[in-house]
Amino acid sequence: MVYIPKHFAETDEATLVDFIRRHSFATLVSTGSAGLIASHLPLLYEEVAGTPGRLLGHLARANPQLADLVGGREVMAIFHGPHAYISPTWYATQPSVPTWNYAVVHAYGTVEAMTDETALTDLLARLSAVYEAGNPAPWRLADQPERYVGGMVRGIGGFVIEITRLDGKFKLSQNRDAVDRDRVIAALDASSDPEARNVAALMKRQ
């Protein structure tokens, strides 16, 4: 679980799914015989009618975490959004203390291995299509030599996470009054740090 004070909780499923799609490079956490283990990887969100959806991904066969991703075990995927330091000097209300604004979504679910080579090849093609979409000359898996693709596929193991719960924590100064929130947004907007400006944009959207 993640600690979420009520005023920082985001519960709208469409908002959480949109966040996952925007920030799809996740931290996947599981537990097995060696204890806790984590990997950092892109995950593909897929809608499933009547459920919160599913996540698809793959790891190198040499990654020991792959052995944990079988048999309906519970895993957690953490999707990290923008974050920024918040100075108390930006507030009209005093005294105040420093803090941090950020947004994250935790996806919990049960995981099953994906071993079929055709399904794995399709997953690789779908992932590359998503991330090549903005490229004027997109790289395509289908254009690669068959033997090369086969070797790639044999070097990975795929998995599917059936999502059972989504927790969203959007800590964006909701506990401050409107004057302080506007001052925080203005200070972040004026920052040379693009991450800070991304937090300001998220605060405006929320």
Task: Determine, yes or no, domain membership for 179.
Answer: yes
CA distance 58 to 114: 9
Q: Pairing state of beta strands 99-114 and 73-86? A: antiparallel
> Which pLDDT score, from 0 to 100, does residue 174 have?
97
**pLDDT surpasses 90 at 59:** yes
Structural domain total, the chain: 1
Does residue 26 lie in a domain region? yes
Is residue 1 domain-resident? no
**Cα 200 from Cα 85, distance rounded (Å):** 12
List the structure tokens of 194. Answer: 């693009």
CB 80 within 8 A of CB 23: yes
For residue range 133-178, list pLDDT tens digits in order.
Answer: 999 999 999 999 999 999 999 999 999 999 999 999 999 999 999 9
The answer to whether position 187 is within a domain reads: yes
Residue in this structure with the two tokens 């992932």, named with its chain if needed: 127
68 within domain boundaries: yes
Residue 89 lies in a domain: yes
Residues 41-53: what's their mean pLDDT? 96
The pLDDT score that the predictor gives to residue 164 is 97
CATH of the domain at 58: 2.30.110.10
pLDDT tens-place string over residues 19-33: 999 999 999 999 988
Q: Domain residues for 35?
A: 6-205
Query: What is the pTM for the complete model shown?
Result: 0.94
How far is Cα 1 from Cα 21, in angstroms, rounded to an integer? 21
> From the DSSP assignment, how many helices (H) and strands (E) are in the chain?
5, 8
d(CA 129, CA 188): 34
* DSSP-derived pairing of the beta strands 35-42 and 25-32: antiparallel
- Using an 8 Å Cβ cutoff, are 42 and 50 in contact? no
Each residue's pLDDT tens digit, 89-127: 999 999 999 999 999 999 999 999 998 999 999 999 999
- d(CA 109, CA 165) in angstroms, rounded, equals 7
Question: How many Å from the N-terminal Cα to the C-terminal Cα in the chain?
Answer: 23
